[in-house]
Structure 1
Amino acid sequence: MNQTLITSVNTLSQLQQKLDILSNNIANLDTNGYKRREASFTDLMNQNVTNMLRANEEVGRLTPSGIRIGTGAKIGQTQMTGAQGSVQPTGRKLDFAFTKENQFFKVLVQENGQGKIHYTRDGAFAVTPVNANEVMLVTTEGRPVLGEDNQPITFNSNNGDITLEDGGRLRIGGQTFNLGVVELRRPQFLTQAGSNLLTLPDDPAVPENEILQEITAAGRTDIAMQQSALEKSNVDFAKEMAELTNVQRSYQFQSRSISLADQMMGLINGVR
């Protein structure tokens, strides 16, 4: 097959993935606590073609022998950008915004009948009844928000006002609860689970304590949180659109290369 076709097809498939990432960023422009993702490209393995058949003609050569022909590009890495988003006051007592990067709430998600901890920056919480006297703190999708002990936060529905204290501590009437908070150290090893949630893979490539760290005990003084406010996404619409335009131009260039390669093969096949 024509080498130009191989190179263009390889690159097109990777550019499509880049387009998907950019489109997802733009679609989550107004998602609370969303962190944009970015992708970086790297070259695919080169093919080395030996074009000098006589060893005596290579004497004194300072560069590697042969001709190196590229086979396209691929996405080398995709990673989450943890930059702080803007904080917008809401006036609602159950809205909480982190004001420090890489800190996330813990949320319990049911998967195949079992509970698994997920992580989110979206602090738009609500309460749902547990029984006649108790309510549970949940996300907007109804998933339990976990405390420091990885247990759902439940409290008496008549306890009164909800106040956020230093260290991510909730005071509800006479009860206090430590919100479950983790610090992400290597977020690139987490996977997206939908609904603005992140989770650990079933078989992480590195130990869990290298990916995230539970913030407990004296370490809770590092928690930076604001009540009655929400963190907006850190997506810069103008930047995403500019990057989207660049990728579309690259996509058009590779498509044009396929057309030219097809025309060249048509000319060759037509030679009698």
Structure 2
Amino acid sequence: MIRTMHTAANTLGQLQVQLDTISNNIANSNTIGYKTKQANFQELLYQQFNNDQQDQTLRQSPVGIRYGVGAHISQIQSNESQGSLQMTDRNLDFAFTKSNQYFNVALADGSTAYTRQGNFYMSPQGDGTNVLVTSDGYPVLSANGTSVTFPDGVKDFTMSQAGTLNVNYDDGQVIQFDLAVTQITKPQVMEHVNSGAYISLPNNLDEIGYAEEEILTDLQGLNRNEVSMQIGALESSNVNLSKEMTDLIAAQRSYQFNSRAITIGDQMLGLINGIR
């Protein structure tokens, strides 16, 4: 009974992670550029008890009893499929039309994060200049790694499909910025930062056996033609609420089943202890 309770307890902890993942997906179903996550389970080790060696019955399974010790989450996988585009006709809204491409933004600690959330704004600096920022106030980076800064008096903005931002003025002046765009080839390695729309490199790259160049590819120079985005549009999250609710119900049933297993094991131990 104690073994049964340990097995159920092991699984309960992992089911809680799955429930948290599903809840996070549902909470971010309206977050621009959010990519849904899915928790994948794997069974823990089995023990083989060969207690019936004399059994001569023909069977496909091994002779004896195989006793598992629960399940654990092997991977929380990111679904990088393209979300639907919402047309906004706003000249500072940008949406990627290819998967795995991300804008670069600067966090408060100086590190770089990556996002597909393309609803940008002008942030006045008080000295006659403006900085292009995300909806959370993070500066958007240009291809040379600096923030996108331009003078006041802007007439409008245009964007080429390859990610070149044109800042237009009434006198005909045009200032161009190549926005920093990164192709993330291994999105499963990335970690979430703050809200669900920002990801960054993990601090333990050496421990997990990856080099930065194996994960990130800056789309600059000859690679710039691979960038594909649309102005006046935003990419919706790719969360399927129907699937998430179905997964939530299944996870809750599994949680109830394992909780019941602990309760029954406790009752059986009580019966044994009550024997005189």
When the two structures are superposed, what TM-score results if normalisation uses the length of structure 1?
0.92
Residue 208 of structure 1 pairs with residue 212 of structure 2: yes
- Equivalents in 1 of 2:99, 2:224: separation in Å? 15
Query: Displacement of 1:165 after TM fit?
Result: 1.1
Query: Displacement of 1:67 after TM fit?
Result: 2.8
Residue 21 of structure 1 pairs with residue 18 of structure 2: no
Q: Which of the residues 66, 86, 90 maps onto 1:88?
A: 86
1:244-259 map, 5 Å: 244-259=248-263
Q: Is the 8 A contact 2:30 2:237 kept in 1?
A: yes
1:15-164 map, 5 Å: 15-51=15-51, 57=54, 66-111=64-109, 115-164=110-159
Question: For residue 177 of structure 2, what is the aligned residue in structure 1?
Answer: 177
Query: Displacement of 1:65 after TM fit?
Result: 6.0
Aligned pair in 2 of structure 1 residues 260, 59: CA closer, same or farther (>3 Å)?
closer
- Equivalents in 2 of 1:154, 1:160: separation in Å? 15
- Equivalents in 2 of 1:179, 1:13: separation in Å? 42
The root-mean-square deviation of aligned C-alpha atoms, in Å, is: 1.9
The residue type equivalent to 2:102 in the other structure is: F
- Equivalents in 2 of 1:13, 1:81: separation in Å? 24
Alignment gaps of 5+ in structure 2: 169-173
- Equivalents in 1 of 2:241, 2:56: separation in Å? 56
- Equivalents in 2 of 1:11, 1:203: separation in Å? 27
- Equivalents in 2 of 1:60, 1:106: separation in Å? 64
Query: Displacement of 1:199 after TM fit?
Result: 0.4
Q: Which of the residues 215, 222, 232 maps onto 1:218?
A: 222
Query: Displacement of 1:64 after TM fit?
Result: 5.0
Quick one: percent identity of the two aligned structures?
Answer: 44
Query: Displacement of 1:239 after TM fit?
Result: 0.6
Residues 125-134 or 93-102, more deviating: 125-134
- Equivalents in 2 of 1:259, 1:172: separation in Å? 66
The residue type equivalent to 1:94 in the other structure is: L
Residues 117-126 or 89-98, more deviating: 89-98
- Equivalents in 1 of 2:161, 2:117: separation in Å? 19
- Equivalents in 1 of 2:175, 2:223: separation in Å? 21
- Equivalents in 2 of 1:132, 1:255: separation in Å? 62
- Equivalents in 2 of 1:178, 1:38: separation in Å? 34
In structure 2, the residue corresponding to 1:110 is in which secondary structure? coil
Alignment gaps of 5+ in structure 1: none
- Equivalents in 1 of 2:143, 2:274: separation in Å? 73
Query: Displacement of 1:41 after TM fit?
Result: 0.3
